[in-house]
Amino acid sequence: MIFRELFLAFAQIFDLVIQLYIFIVIARVILSWVNPDPYNPIVRFLCSVTDPVLYRMQRLVPLQFGGIDFSPFVLLLALTFFKRVVFAIFLQLASSF
């Protein structure tokens, strides 16, 4: 019984963390359309959190076509897929107790 609640709590926390990161990536994409102040603390935070993942994706798979970078879109798809799969695994583990 307690393990069931523990796995449900982990599933909800995991879902929340991934959803927050998805919002951060979306905010970073919107900021890339304008010319933000690079010394702004919010811009620096968004860049420091998202750039390592996006640079790694750009290095592995070149996703630029016609001057448009599609790596944030692929990252959002991967995060959504990962969130659904792991959340389903946590729910199955919770239902097994």
CA atoms within 13 A of residue 56's CA, in its CB half-sphere: 5
User: What residue segments make up the domains of the chain, in order of their start?
Assistant: 2-95
Q: What is the pLDDT of residue 68?
A: 85
Both tokens of residue 70?
């599609």
In 3D space, the residue among 29, 44, 38 whose CA is nearest the CA of residue 79 turns out to be 29
In 3D space, the residue among 14, 1, 2 whose CA is nearest the CA of residue 89 turns out to be 14
Q: What is the pLDDT of residue 23?
A: 98
Counting every residue written for the chain, the total comes to 97
Q: Which residues of the chain fall below pLDDT 70?
A: none
- Whole-model pTM: value is 0.87
Q: What is the pLDDT of residue 76?
A: 96
Both tokens of residue 68?
């448009």
